[in-house]
Structure 1
Amino acid sequence: MAKKTTTKEKSIEESLWDAANKLRGSIEPSEYKHVVLGLIFLKFASDKFEDRRKELIAEGKEKYIEMKEFYNMKNVFFLAETSRWSYIIKKAKQDDIALQIDTALNQIEKNNPSLKGALPDNYFSRLGLDKSKLASLLDTINKIDTQKDKAQDIVGRVYEYFLSKFALAEGKGKGEFYTPKSIVNLIAEMIEPYKGIIYDPACGSGGMFVQSIKFIENHHGNKQEISIYGQEYTNTTYKLAKMNLAIRGISANLGEKAADTFGNDQHKDLKADYIMANPPFNQKDWRGENELVDDPRWRGYEVPPKSNANYGWILNMVSKLSDDGVAGFILANGALSGGGEEYKIRRKLVENNLVEAIVILPQNMFYTTNISVTIWILNKNKKTHTRTIGDEIRNYRDREEEVLFLDLRQIGEPFEKKFIQFGPGHILDIAKTYHDWQQTDSDYKDVPEYCYSATKADIEKKDFSLIPSKYIEFVNRDENIDFDTKMTALQSELSEVLRAQEQSKKELLEVFKELGYAIEL
């Protein structure tokens, strides 16, 4: 009997990605991601609108079904008739479909002030998309019922998948709008943004905020007790962030517009309880020679060098921390050492008891660079205190004289063939090590090649270098090997191999001679 073959059914995400890829042609991923994500947003907004419309009719409130207030009160975006998905699908095969979509998105933004500056602006008409390929993508998206399983957050899942795939497609030097999810999850599990103000000075597409909200939900917290503030420099990425948050019903203040955090800080007086960030690595010429010299954000520290913005980002975040605030952010490894103004700033950060943990990550975690990078944890309150997370009461010991170093370079699992990510178990284990180190009555111990709790005196002896390998013990696995005996054995093996090769060569020459060939090998 013939063997029955089974075909794995494609996920919603994979089907959408295949349909989206048909649009590529001469369009860069950096362009067409706004087309695809804009359409996904439009379908989601329409499905929520239609659900609310049916609800109003069921309640006998048909006369209110075209009044936006009755939608906004339930956190639903109001859509005029020409902005609804059903209208767009009817027009899908028409020559002016791109213009129809642009008009629909423009109307949605006008009718919903919270979406100001969020949606793609004339992308569809401007890019000259192939009409049949666009119609095919519309058909694929039309099959998704975004409201079918609210618990599964289908649209959020699709959106996250697409952001990841677009970052992979854009590759090195691009894709800065996305921080790999497992790194964001790790930062959230470590600093535990549970209640208060969250800030991201380089928020990209808003991934830090999304994972913060998920952390709160997973620990049975109240999303209403969190306020979100962010800033993003690139206008198209600013739009991505606003869309990403809007589809999840997350309110955030991302400033009036896309703007440079250094040159146009839109949250000057903010004091945040949690900061999560992945600022651009090693940003050069981020300020002019005589610009931002007297900026209040560096008060008490040296002015960060204009040749590299790493310490500008650090001090921006330090200035925004509340008295109990904690920051988790990613920087290139070069910030861990080096001289000049960076050395002086780093030394003061340690002396001021702000540095709590330094976590070195594996290579190949980022889609935009293959360098190894570091998570920094800064904490304004390393003294003895108590904190409640969900039903758990945490008692923290005094850590002012200590810094935890973690080396995660041997941890992780393959992802998309050439990348590394942390699995859920890895994240929980790493976070547990950190929290055990923080708390009283824990069983924390230094582990060779993994973690070490260094004192300020230790760090001073290393001239305030924060490179983890200077502190974490590494095991000499060769210390019990008799190298002389090992070398003799290897040389003997090599001699045998060479003798065998020589014998094979002689035998081969004899064969050729018998066949009448004069061959030299």
Structure 2
Amino acid sequence: MGDKLGFEKQLWNACKKLRNNMDPAEYKHVVLGLVFLKYISDSFENVYKELEETKYADPEDRDEYIAKNVFWVPKDARWEKIKKNAKQPEIGQIIDNALIEIEKENPQLKGVLNKRYSRPTLSTRILGELIDEISKVDMHTNGKSSQDILGRVYEYFLAKFADQEGKGGGQFYTPHSVVNLLVEMIEPYQGRIYDPCCGSGGMFVQSEKFVESHQGQIEDISIYGQESNPTTWKMCKMNLAIRGIDNDLGGGPADSFHNDLHKDLKADFILANPPFNDSDWGGELLKDDPRWEYGIPYEGSANYAWIQHFISHLAPKGIAGFVLANGALSSNTDTDNEIRKAIIEDDLVDCIVALPNKLFYSTGIPATLWFLTRDKNKENERNRKNETLFIDARKTGKLVDRAHRELTKKDLEKIVTTYHNWKSEDDYEEYEDIKGFCKSSDLEEIQKHEYILTPGRYVGIEEKEEDDEPFEKKMERLTDELAEQFAKSNNLEEEIRENLGEIGYEF
């Protein structure tokens, strides 16, 4: 997730008591709701102070805040009041009332905020302690804007909640390094960005960051999304509101297969991480759906339904980047086989990237990135007709703990540069096939592999550098190194024994 700001962990630790009293699916809304309330209140107060110091300006003029794209916060909903009443027995009701007032004054938040702080099962003591901790956040750490800081806290919390919830976490959170890779690969500078299973909105947030970091104009991109889970839809709206990102997520949660809210949309960029191998997607009710251009998807898995949904929303020069379980590369049900073959024959598959394991909080299933495009000869790109790039990145990434891995900056640069050089008109001479890592294959080769898209089949096995060190010399060196390690181990053991002995625990 990049450099930490320092207080994310402090705030997370403050949630421990709450975690002991509530299910993760519940307490995430309690914590994130307070973070959101603190953010919009602080943003309001910053503008309020500016207006107080401006001649002829009225800090209580609602229009002044609308003009600056800042939420209007009524007097009784401001954080100062929440903070002053943190230890009062009615604090839950005070927060609920504040959220009701904020929704009334800001129509774009209608139905989004989680107004359940006064429920009997939520300890007012713990709620007060949480408010105290959140109140300590310095909104201008290292000169960063409050928007950036609270956004980072929000992102950190989403990752931690996904970790705590296990399988359920994947409904709303895609690991930051995976989102970053997708965005850097497809480069959404300008146009319509669409995610039909948008979770908490990470793809949108990273797209905005990408445009900003490349000196682009945020106004040049439009955000369209959809999410079926009601609580996750609310989290997405809050996440985007925190960042000030305009969006069209429809009027509420809805299933993209059975109630497509953006039926006529043709997107320039599609970014998505749909549920892996979803068997409960209601395919039996959609046999005659016009989206199934390449064949009726298998009812037991939504993978190829998602792929065709993406294709149906792709603009003539659009590109889609999405995550799927590895099994979709080679699934051998009759329908999956035929759909995959038809998509390949129609020359839509631009690049496939095999990811390392342990990247996802929600599943241990190996995952792959797919990149599909309708146009393999756009401006500044070479003609890649009937070509597909395979990248095997399974050996990349570093373990951040025993259960989780993340892609490093160096890993991201290697994968992204390989793809961009391969498709670039100017930089193609910089591209080369690398055994065990990448291979540019044509349609004929894919046909020989029976339309299976597993990168390992194409890139081969990495060539090992020849070791010309004589065996005897190598063994001598290795045994010396081992002896040195044993000596260090013995010394450390002796120190531990002495330290334990000094406090009365000899053994």
CA distance in 2, matches of 1:76, 1:28: 33
- Once the two structures are superposed, residues 454-491 of structure 1 have per-residue CA deviations (whole angstroms, 9 ceiling, x without a partner) of 1001111111111111111214769999xxx9xxx9xx
Q: How does 1:102-501 map to 2 (within 5 A)?
A: 102-122=96-116, 124-126=117-119, 128-147=121-140, 149-151=143-145, 153-289=148-284, 291-298=285-292, 300-337=293-330, 338-383=332-377, 385-386=378-379, 395-441=380-426, 442=428, 443-475=430-462
CA distance in 2, matches of 1:11, 1:477: 42
CA distance in 2, matches of 1:478, 1:437: 25
CA distance in 2, matches of 1:463, 1:410: 26
CA distance in 2, matches of 1:50, 1:479: 65
Check the 8 A contact 2:283/2:297 in 1, yes or no.
no
Shift of 1:440: 2.4
2:44 aligns with one of 30, 34, 49: 49
CA distance in 1, matches of 2:120, 2:342: 51
User: Secondary structure of the residue that 1:368 maps to in structure 2?
Assistant: coil
User: Secondary structure of the residue that 1:46 maps to in structure 2?
Assistant: helix
Check the 8 A contact 2:103/2:109 in 1, yes or no.
yes
Question: RMSD value over aligned CA atoms?
Answer: 2.1
Amino acid at match of 1:435: H
The size of the alignment, in residue pairs, is 463
Residue 58 (structure 1) aligns with: 53
Check the 8 A contact 1:166/1:175 in 2, yes or no.
no
What's the % identity of the aligned pairs?
49
CA distance in 2, matches of 1:202, 1:317: 11
User: Secondary structure of the residue that 1:45 maps to in structure 2?
Assistant: helix
CA distance in 1, matches of 2:103, 2:144: 24
Residue 6 (structure 2) aligns with: 11
User: Secondary structure of the residue that 2:37 maps to in structure 1?
Assistant: helix
Amino acid at match of 2:407: F
- Once the two structures are superposed, residues 102-123 of structure 1 have per-residue CA deviations (whole angstroms, 9 ceiling, x without a partner) of 111121112101112321132x
Amino acid at match of 1:77: F
**CA distance 1:475–1:13, shift in 2 (3 Å):** closer
**CA distance 1:111–1:279, shift in 2 (3 Å):** same
Check the 8 A contact 1:48/1:147 in 2, yes or no.
no
1:80 aligns with one of 66, 74, 84: 74
Amino acid at match of 2:459: I
With the length of structure 1 as denominator, give the TM-score of the two structures.
0.85
User: Secondary structure of the residue that 2:18 maps to in structure 1?
Assistant: coil
User: Secondary structure of the residue that 1:334 maps to in structure 2?
Assistant: helix
Check the 8 A contact 1:49/1:77 in 2, yes or no.
yes
Check the 8 A contact 2:163/2:169 in 1, yes or no.
no
Shift of 1:173: 4.3
Check the 8 A contact 1:47/1:145 in 2, yes or no.
no
Shift of 1:135: 1.1
4+ long deviations beyond 4 Å = 475-481
Amino acid at match of 2:100: N
Amino acid at match of 2:178: I
**CA distance 1:343–1:99, shift in 2 (3 Å):** same
Q: Structure 1 unaligned runs (5+)?
A: 1-8, 387-394, 490-521
Q: Structure 2 unaligned runs (5+)?
A: 476-507
Shift of 1:90: 1.4
Shift of 1:285: 3.0
Amino acid at match of 1:467: T
- Once the two structures are superposed, residues 215-258 of structure 1 have per-residue CA deviations (whole angstroms, 9 ceiling, x without a partner) of 10111000000000000011110011011110111011111101
Residue 65 (structure 2) aligns with: 71
* Larger of the two Rg values belongs to structure: 1
- Once the two structures are superposed, residues 421-465 of structure 1 have per-residue CA deviations (whole angstroms, 9 ceiling, x without a partner) of 111121111100000110124211110110011100111111111
Amino acid at match of 1:434: Y
With the length of structure 2 as denominator, give the TM-score of the two structures.
0.88
